């Protein structure tokens, strides 16, 4: 079950990875085409320029309005063993038939009833059904008279049949579930800042094993994140509400309180963790600091600019899990403080400066209270710096440069040798994984090479650091090696070497 949850979270990363681009379009387009912005900056009121901004706004909006369908497709692509295109088609058809069935039954049985929006839950259920049917029946052989419908053609057909029953089932079971979700959302809301704290704390804690992707979508895209009317339409989910308000030119005042599921990220990712990197750098003996300066600067900038924190977090997670728990506690506290101060900044993917600039600064302090992030961030930088300096010195934690000299700081290589280096390292990775016969599947996210193995005892985890891995995590016969941006490159090369399908 744990391994399956990991795979689901990993599959969601494909469509979620598109959101920054869609968010950029919506953020820039919505910000510069709103009547308030035009009134404040009349020089923007140029016909062709406003056309560009409105097109950008529409292009970004359409992605978020079809997010459930995209999640369903991403799930099918990520979990399909072969013929991923067929699995994606089955997912699309299945999701459309499921929602169409639910709507048709609702229109017949209760024409005046509220619409049923299963959101990410419907995407998850239909996506899992479609991809499991695909993996089971993509090579099915039917009798000769029905031979044309065999193989991969059978998958969309059987998916449609199942989708009708799933749609009917959702008509029956979803309204009470919807009420339970609303009650749960109200419970979190009634818990006040304590509920916000536990959201941030648990999400960061689960990030250690890559399961945070199973938590935040429930708040971003379902009733748990709130239900509000925006521009006359009912919108469900914290992120959907935020972007609906962003696209609404008539919205005034602070953005929705649902941004409490985003706003706490900025103090940690832009200030806290970079300060932790500085503390780790200052903990290195002065004679060796030059060697490690690039490493710490790189992970700190990655966290600050993009909000991708794994390369930095995995520098101390494995050598001091307790310190990671403290970090998770501080992150939950950051969400609590942001909620208390009514900081209302949303984001597309993470809490780096790009999202902070677009959805905080660009939207104005009157809507976001973004100025408050600066003093909170300064306090968080001090909190992280002194906590890490104290803990590293007091408990002799082996962060890079302190008993961690087996971590290789890769020097720049000539351009013509890059591919050769990747292939040579990929061959070694296969060897350290116990050989080709021990490998079941290979995948990667933003920073981790994820490999399913038959026997984890054959894996030589310690040797991965000689190739530049920051750390290696073993989870339920699965190996996660933290290679940073090279993870996706190693995945491609290893799949080619093994002759496996992507």
- 466, 408 contact by CB (below 8 A): yes
Q: Which two tokens stand for residue 361?
A: 């600064």
User: Tell me: the pLDDT tens digits for 184-211?
Assistant: 656 776 788 898 998 888 888 877 655 5
pLDDT band at 411 (very low <50, low <70, confident <90, very high): very low
- Beta strand pairing call for 233-236 and 478-482: unpaired
Separation of CA 172 from chain center: 31
List Cβ neighbours of 477 (8 Å cut-off, separation of 6 or more): 3, 452, 453, 454, 455, 456
Q: Which two tokens stand for residue 478?
A: 């699965």
Helices 47-65 + 19-33 axis angle, to 10: 140
pTM score, whole prediction: 0.61
Indicate the domain borders of the chain: 2-208, 247-395, 415-498
- 309, 271 contact by CB (below 8 A): no
Please, what CATH class does the domain formed by 415-498 belong to? alpha beta
Rg (CA), the chain: 24
Catalytic residue set: 445
User: Tell me: the pLDDT tens digits for 441-491?
Assistant: 888 876 788 888 888 888 888 888 888 887 788 876 788 888 876 787 888
Provide mean pLDDT across the span 405-433.
65
- What residues pair up with 230 in beta bridges, in sequence order? 233
Question: How would you classify residue 226: left for phi > 0, otherwise alpha for psi between -120 and 50, otherwise beta?
Answer: left
Q: Which two tokens stand for residue 308?
A: 């991708």
Buried b / exposed e over 229-244, threshold 16 CB at 10 Å, is ebeeeebbbbbbbbbb
């Amino acid at each position: 079950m744990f391994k399956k949850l990991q795979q689901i979270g990993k599959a969601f990363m494909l469509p979620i990875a598109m959101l920054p681009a869609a968010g950029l379009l919506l953020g820039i387009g919505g910000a510069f085409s709103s009547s308030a912005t035009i009134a404040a900056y009349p020089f923007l009121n140029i016909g062709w320029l406003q056309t560009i901004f409105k097109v950008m706004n529409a292009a970004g909006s359409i992605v978020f309005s079809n997010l459930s369908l995209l999640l369903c497709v991403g799930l099918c692509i990520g979990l399909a063993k072969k013929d991923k295109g067929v699995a994606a088609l089955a997912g699309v058809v299945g999701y459309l038939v499921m929602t169409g069935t639910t709507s048709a039954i609702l229109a017949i049985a209760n024409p005046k009833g509220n619409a049923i929006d299963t959101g990410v839950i419907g995407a998850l259920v239909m996506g899992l059904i479609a991809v499991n049917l695909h993996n089971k029946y993509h090579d099915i052989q039917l009798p000769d008279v029905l031979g044309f419908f065999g193989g991969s053609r059978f998958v969309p057909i059987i998916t449609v049949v199942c989708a009708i029953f799933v749609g009917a089932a959702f008509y029956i079971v979803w309204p009470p579930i919807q009420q339970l979700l609303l009650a749960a959302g109200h419970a979190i809301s009634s818990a006040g800042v304590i509920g916000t704290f536990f959201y941030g704390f648990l999400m960061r804690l689960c990030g250690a094993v890559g399961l945070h992707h199973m938590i935040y979508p429930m708040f971003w895209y379902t009733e748990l994140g709130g239900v509000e009317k925006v521009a006359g339409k009912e919108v469900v989910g914290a992120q959907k509400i935020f972007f609906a308000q962003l696209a609404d030119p008539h919205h005034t005042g602070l953005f929705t309180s649902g941004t409490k599921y985003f706003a706490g990220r900025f103090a940690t990712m832009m200030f806290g963790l970079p300060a932790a990197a500085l503390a780790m750098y200052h903990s290195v003996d002065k004679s060796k600091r030059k060697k490690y300066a690039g490493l710490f600067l790189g992970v700190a900038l990655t966290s600050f600019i993009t909000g991708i924190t794994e390369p930095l977090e995995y520098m101390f997670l494995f050598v001091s899990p307790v310190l990671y728990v403290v970090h998770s506690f501080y992150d939950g506290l950051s969400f609590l403080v942001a909620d208390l101060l009514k900081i209302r900044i949303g984001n597309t993917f993470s809490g780096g400066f790009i999202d902070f600039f677009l959805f905080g600064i660009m939207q104005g302090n009157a809507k976001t209270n973004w100025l408050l992030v600066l003093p909170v961030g300064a306090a968080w930088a001090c909190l992280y710096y002194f906590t890490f300096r104290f803990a590293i010195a007091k408990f002799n934690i082996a962060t890079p440069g302190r008993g961690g000299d087996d971590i290789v700081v890769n020097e720049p290589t000539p351009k013509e040798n890059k591919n050769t280096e990747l292939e040579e390292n990929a061959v070694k990775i296969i060897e350290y994984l116990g050989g080709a016969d021990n490998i079941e599947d290979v995948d990667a996210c933003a920073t981790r090479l994820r490999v399913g193995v038959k026997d984890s005892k054959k894996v030589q985890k310690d040797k991965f650091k000689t190739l530049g891995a920051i750390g290696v995590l073993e989870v339920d016969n699965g190996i996660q090696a933290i290679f940073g941006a090279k993870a996706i490159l190693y995945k491609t090369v290893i799949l080619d070497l093994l002759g496996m399908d992507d």
